[in-house]
Amino acid sequence: MALLAETRKKIATDHRRHAKDSGSVEVQVAMLTHEINAVSEHLQGHDKDHHSRRGLLGKVGMRNRLLKYLARTDPERYQKLIAKLGLRK
């Protein structure tokens, strides 16, 4: 469930910190969130797709690690990001 180039670009422009930002924690978490939502939607109709479920768990774990890092290093950016993405943390 790879992201299309224009989708990646739109997500990066919405969450970047400066004009040439493409790899900050905010951008990475936003892209992972988009991918997680897509895979979760796929799994709603394909209950027995265990390979995709394993990939989903990996993406969720990576997002949690990035969010933990952001919360530890810059709590203000962390709060803004989870509010913007609508995450429950």
Which residue numbers in the chain have pLDDT < 70?
1, 89
Is the pTM higher than 0.85?
yes
The predicted pLDDT at position 52 comes to: 97
| Nearby residues of 12 by Cβ (< 8 Å), 6 or more positions away | 21, 22, 27, 30, 31
40 within domain boundaries:
no
Query: What's the domain range around 80?
Result: 50-89
Q: Mention every residue, 6+ apart, whose C-beta is less than 8 A from residue 76.
A: none
At 22 the pLDDT is 85
- What pLDDT is stored for residue 38 in this prediction? 96
Specify burial of residue 86 (Cβ count, 10 A radius: 0-12, 13-18, 19+). exposed
In a domain, residue 77? The reply is: yes
Q: How many domains does the chain have?
A: 1
Structural domain includes residue 23: no
